[in-house]
Amino acid sequence: MQSAVHSASPNLPTCGTYTPGYYNAQQLGHWPNYNSTTGLATNTVTDGPYGSVTFTQNSTFKSVFMGGSMNKLIDIMPPGPAPSGSTTDEMHWIGALLSAISPPPGFVNPYSPGEVLKLYQANNAAGIAFFKWLEQNSSI
């Protein structure tokens, strides 16, 4: 009997992500679907836990993730301190969502945007731990 391990493709996609700092307020052009004319980064997630959600950087964390703080997504992101009521975990969830929408060129994200929202809704401690690990170990 022979193993088929040798037949696996050596060119598998590589997971990659951006750190939350990539999406800070001074770098709005880094946000997926940023429109310099309107000044908005408008994105829609169609496979979330509650159906479709459309958001911009000015949407509240709670309106996108259906839980958490009422702070605007952009206000939660670095370089400033997290606003009152926000946690640094919220910053990582936002970074995970944005990287799932538009991973770095040449890389893939292991989760769809809807899966990121579903992990948040499940209060998945392993999910946030994974996203933090991914940011530290495969960020661009």
pLDDT of residue 30: 93
- 92 close to 132: Cβ distance less than 8 angstroms: yes
> What does the pLDDT look like over 28-43, one tens digit per residue?
999 999 999 999 999 9
pLDDT along the chain (140 residues), means of 10: 46 80 86 96 94 96 95 86 71 94 89 94 88 79
pLDDT of residue 80: 63
pLDDT of residue 21: 83
